[in-house]
Amino acid sequence: MTATQEATRGLVEIHDVHKSYGGHEVLRGIDLTIQPGEVVAVLGPSGSGKSTLLRTINHLEGIDRGSVTVDGQLIGYELRGGRLHELREREILRRRTQIGIVFQNFNLFPHLTALENVTEAPIATGALSKEDAHELALGLLARVGLAEKADQYPRQLSGGQQQRVAIARALALKPKVILFDEPTSALDPELVGEVLDVIRDLAQLGTTLVIVTHEIGFAREVADRVVFVDGGVIVEQGPPSQVLVAPEHPRTREFLAKVLG
Ligand SMILES: Nc1ncnc2c1ncn2[C@@H]1O[C@H](COP(=O)(O)OP(=O)(O)O)[C@@H](O)[C@H]1O
Ligand SMILES: [Mg+2]
C-alpha cells in the first residue's frame, strides 16, 4: 500500500446528517470528520441519537439529508443527477463491509460456533475461501484470547467472551472503521475489563474506531477525541482532557456529573 492510500484509509466524513422517525427528528444536523486511525468516543444521554448516528454510518439506517462517506466513497447511496439515490442491496452490503459494527447485545448467530460466527461473513461475501476464512478466524479468535473457545456456541460462553467473538467477527472483513455501540453495557462488571482490553489493542493498531460508551475512564484513556451528543446534535467535542475534565457546555457538565455519580 502506498503512503497516499494509507493516509486515506478509514477517513469518515459525516456531513449535515438528519434523520427522523415519523415526526421525531432524532439527528438534527450532524457534522463530524473522523481521521484515519482516530479513536472517537461518543457520549450522551439515553435517547440522544448515539445508536442512530452509528447506524447511519454503516447504513443500517438511511438518512433524510446530508451524506456519509468513508475514504470519499458514499455509504448506502450514489450521486446521480445531483441527488442521492439509495444503492441496490448488493452494493450496500459490499460498501458496508468496510465498516464493522459491534452491538451492546453481541448479536452473535446462536446456532453457529464462535469460529463459524467469524467465518460466516467472509465466506458469504465471497471474500475468502472456506479454508482461508477458517485460518483467519482462528487467528482472530486467538487475538481476542479465545483460541480455546472456537468450537463453543454462544450460549456456552460468558458475555465478555461473546462480545470478544463479536469483535473478532467484526474484524474478519478487515474493516477500515469499527463502530462500537455501548460494547460493555450488557456485561457484568467483572467482564468489562477483558472487552475493553481488546478494544484498547485495536485502538493501538490504527483502525478508525467510533465508540459509544459510558465508560468515562476508558474514553479518557483511549479516545483521541470525545464527542458529546444531546438532542441529536453535537453539543461539544474535543480532546478527552478538555471535554471530560473541563467541559464548556452545561449539558456536558450535567451529563458527566450523572455518569460519574
Ligand atoms: N427504529 C426506530 N423507530 C422509531 N424511533 C426510533 C427508532 N430508533 C430510535 N428511535 C428513537 O430515536 C431516539 C434516539 O434513539 P437512539 O439513537 O437509540 O438513542 P441513544 O442510542 O442515544 O440512546 C429515541 O427517542 C428513540 O426512541
Ligand atoms: Mg443507544
Q: How many residues can be counted in the chain?
A: 261
Ligand 1 pocket check for 26: Cβ under 6 Å: yes
Distance linking the first and last C-alpha atoms of the chain:
47
Which residue matches cell numbers 489493542? 201
**Nearest ligand 1 atom to alpha carbon 48:** 22
pLDDT tops 60 at residue 1: no
- Total-model pTM: 0.95
How remote is the CA of residue 53 from the centroid of ligand 1, in Å? 10
How remote is the CA of residue 45 from the centroid of ligand 1, in Å? 12
**Nearest ligand 1 atom to alpha carbon 61:** 1
Q: To 10 degrees, the CA torsion angle through 247, 253, 255, 256? A: 70
Tens digit of each residue's pLDDT (9 = 90 or more) over 111-166: 999 999 999 999 999 999 999 999 999 999 999 999 999 999 999 999 999 999 99
How remote is the CA of residue 48 from the centroid of ligand 2, in Å? 8
How remote is the CA of residue 21 from the centroid of ligand 2, in Å? 15
How remote is the CA of residue 24 from the centroid of ligand 1, in Å? 9
- CA–CA distance, 68 with 53 (Å, rounded to integer): 10
**Percent of the chain having pLDDT more than 70?**
97
Q: Residue 8 has what pLDDT? A: 56
Nearest CA to ligand 1 atom 26: 47
Mean pLDDT of the chain: 95
Q: Residue 261 has what pLDDT? A: 82
Nearest CA to ligand 1 atom 1: 21
Domains by residue range for the chain, with CATH: 3-98+177-260 (3.40.50.300), 108-174 (no CATH)
Nearest CA to ligand 1 atom 20: 47
Q: Of 17, 18, 21, 235, which is best to mutate to test ligand 1, by the most ligand atoms within 8 angstroms of its C-beta?
A: 21
Ion ligand 2: residues, CB < 5 A: 50-51
Q: Average pLDDT, stretch 38-59? A: 97
Q: Average pLDDT, stretch 194-206? A: 94
Nearest ligand, CA of residue 229? 1
44: left (phi over 0), alpha (psi -120 to 50) or beta: left
Contacts of 80 (CB under 8 A, 6+ apart): none
**Nearest ligand 1 atom to alpha carbon 181:** 21
**Percent of the chain having pLDDT more than 90?**
93
Nearest CA to ligand 1 atom 13: 47
Ligand 1 pocket check for 42: Cβ under 6 Å: no
Q: Average pLDDT, stretch 254-261? A: 93
Nearest ligand, CA of residue 45? 1
> Please, are residues 218 and 198 in contact by the beta-carbon 8 Å criterion?
no
> Please, are residues 228 and 214 in contact by the beta-carbon 8 Å criterion?
no
Q: Residue 215 has what pLDDT? A: 94
**Nearest ligand 1 atom to alpha carbon 182:** 21
